[in-house]
Chains A and B, each alone.
Chain A
Amino acid sequence: MNERNFGEVILDLKGISLSFGAMRVLNNISFNVRQGEIRSIIGPNGAGKSSMLNVINGVYHPQEGEITFRGEVRKEMKVHEAAGFGIARTFQNIALFKGMSTLDNIMTGRNLKMKSSMLAQAIYWGKAQKEEIEHRKKVEEIIDFLEIQAIRKTPVGRLPYGMQKRVELGRALAAEPEILLLDEPMAGMNVEEKEDMSRFVLDINDEFGTTIVLIEHDMGVVMDISDRVVVLDYGRQLADGTPDVVRSNQDVIDAYLGVSH
């Protein structure tokens, strides 16, 4: 991979600790995300990776620690505010709107950008229709980008798993986010699907300049596409650095392969 240039730090997490009752899920985690990079979070099951994403987009509120977003310390925010800050995400277990078509799912991703009033929408012809068509154009670009033209009118509940994952990525992209959080985008996929998804992730990063925070279990994929990797294990931070640094870290090797006692 040739030398990549990253912007400044847009998301900085310092000393994040999160507990549910007596259960300590995250323990003093600190790392940052730079503009335009692909940042991976890895770790064994139960390491706290998904909790970390939930902290970033405001679903969980850490008891300790400080989150600095675009140079400002972020106060405790509500779940729906994350999208307004330019943070979009996909879920480990697909969270699509099952009764709606692919097109409608991705259109819903643009809900914050649609401004016409309820009355204008009731009348439809005129302002609301113009807005719909304008956003439809954007959505069609995403559909083209993800190569899902053939399924745009299909209810997503009927789509196979790999396609659903792709639609969910499309819905997140529709918001034109600055940071895209991907929670295991390649889980349960075969090699071809993983290759496709990796290509999409790289293309999103490359073409739109979107910063990507990625959780993934497939080490081959992570080491290939990430710029920097942070390793968690039982809520602790084991390592942070480039794939090469992380790969040779003794703590990481022990966590993944086990230690003989």
Chain B
Amino acid sequence: MFYREAGEFKASYQKDQAILPIRQDRWFIWAIIAIAFLVIPAVSSDYWLGTIMLPFLILALAALGLNVLTGYAGQLSLGTGGFMATGAFAAYKLATMFPGMHILFVLLFSGAITAGVGILFGIPSLRIKGFYLAVATLASQFFLIWMFNKFGWFTNYSASGVITAPQMTAIGDIMVTGAHATVTAKYLFALSIVTLLALITKNLVRSNIGREWMAVRDMDIAAEIIGIKMLPTKLKAFAYSSFLCGIAGALWAFVHTGSVEPLAFDVNRSFQILFMIIIGGLGSIMGAFLGAAFIVLLPIFLSNAPHWFGLNIAVDLISHIEAMVFGALIIFFLIVEPHGLARLWQITKEKLRLWPFPY
């Protein structure tokens, strides 16, 4: 009733090819962006911004990166953690070697370095597919973490193997890393970067390169016959995916935690990101955000829910119940909609178009 595209006529291909051709969708997204930039920082406590929203944004960015590779280009990867670590350590080396460098350039270059590493580990994808490729990328995960632990050069020979982000400013003298940065500044900085990169990703997947990725994913032999070269197309997906994961890793180390060791990016991190895109929806920008929200926010909701309802349950029991309910919900959502929350959202919109009629 209120969600109809009826009466909206597109008079040009430009309008028809817009990111959100339906007016209500545009309003909805602008509202979300406005809430994220204006309302959330105003009403949230430092705890909410710093320990919930910030990791949510950064992990959503990593999920976006993996979704480009796995969801759009169809290359299963378990190396996300390794690529995030590469981004974090590249950013650290860049920031300590060139202290005057602006944080945006630090992020850009660490993303670029990670893209290079991603290309290197993407080369086997020409020959191996599916689960076998996942195992090959798992090797990159273990190799990269081992490398950052083994060679002191990456941590500037810190005894504990922990890197600590130097203080850096974004605009003027607004600090976004280090102990003196306010949580709100960190949140807005991360939000801006994630929003920008999500927009760029959307542009890529609706352009020729995105169609080539999906063609390779859906039917590689047909893709080759219409002239798509396998190796460059797959490597571009690896490069861009790693670029996003690298920036996510750098943000994690610099903006979120401030100091980090390689183990923060171990194989569990890779699995966590993979679960995000499976639950959120493969091959969907929205899916990366929904999946990250599900994985990050739901456990927090579950551990706080009994408290809100006035139930007095022992802490250890709560954490056990939390794990059980969380697992059950994952299974529930995958049974209800194997294509993820983004697909569920799509179906809701399709139903809403017809509402209140069944069809």
The residues of A with any CB-CB pair to B shorter than 8 Å are 57, 59, 79-84, 88-89, 91, 95-100, 104, 107-109, 111-112, 114, 116, 118, 121-124, 128-129, 131-133, 136-137, 140, 171-172, 175
With A111-B208, A121-B208, A129-B14 already in contact, the answer to whether A97 and B218 are too (CB < 8 A) is: yes
The complex places the Cα of A80 from the Cα of B200 at a distance, in Å, of 28
The residues of B with any CB-CB pair to A shorter than 8 Å are 12-14, 17, 200, 203-204, 206-212, 214-215, 217-219, 221-230, 236, 240, 283
Query: Are B227 and A122 in contact (CB-based, < 8 A)?
Result: no
How many whole Å from B8's CB to the nearest CB in chain A?
14
Chain B contacts for A172, CB-based, 8 A: 226
Query: Are B227 and A96 in contact (CB-based, < 8 A)?
Result: no
> Is the contact region of chain B dominated by helix, strand, or loop, or is it mixed?
helix
Given contacts A96-B219, A108-B215, A109-B226, 10 further A-B contacts (CB under 8 A): A82-B227, A91-B222, A100-B214, A100-B215, A112-B227, A116-B208, A121-B209, A124-B203, A128-B208, A140-B13
Query: Are A111 and B214 in contact (CB-based, < 8 A)?
Result: no
Chain B contacts for A82, CB-based, 8 A: 225, 227
Query: Are A128 and B207 in contact (CB-based, < 8 A)?
Result: yes
Provide 16 A-B residue pairs closer than 8 Å at the C-beta atoms, listed in order of the A residue: A59-B221, A80-B229, A83-B227, A84-B227, A96-B222, A99-B217, A100-B211, A100-B215, A104-B214, A116-B207, A118-B236, A121-B203, A128-B208, A129-B14, A133-B13, A136-B17
Chain A contacts for B226, CB-based, 8 A: 83, 88, 108-109, 111-112, 171-172, 175
How many whole Å from A16's CB to the nearest CB in chain B?
19
How many whole Å from A144's CB to the nearest CB in chain B?
14
Query: Among B207, B212, B221, which residue has its beta carbon within 8 angstroms of that of A132?
Result: B207
The complex places the Cα of A100 from the Cα of B283 at a distance, in Å, of 11
How many whole Å from A261's CB to the nearest CB in chain B?
42
The complex places the Cα of A254 from the Cα of B227 at a distance, in Å, of 40
Chain A contacts for B221, CB-based, 8 A: 59, 79, 95
How many whole Å from B137's CB to the nearest CB in chain A?
22
**Candidate in B17, B215, B227 with the most chain A CB atoms within 10 angstroms:** B227
Query: Are B209 and A95 in contact (CB-based, < 8 A)?
Result: no
Query: Are B214 and A80 in contact (CB-based, < 8 A)?
Result: no
Chain B contacts for A114, CB-based, 8 A: 208
**Candidate in A100, A109, A136 with the most chain B CB atoms within 10 angstroms:** A100
Query: Among B200, B214, B223, which residue has its beta carbon within 8 angstroms of that of A99?
Result: B214
Chain A contacts for B225, CB-based, 8 A: 57, 59, 79-80, 82-83, 88-89
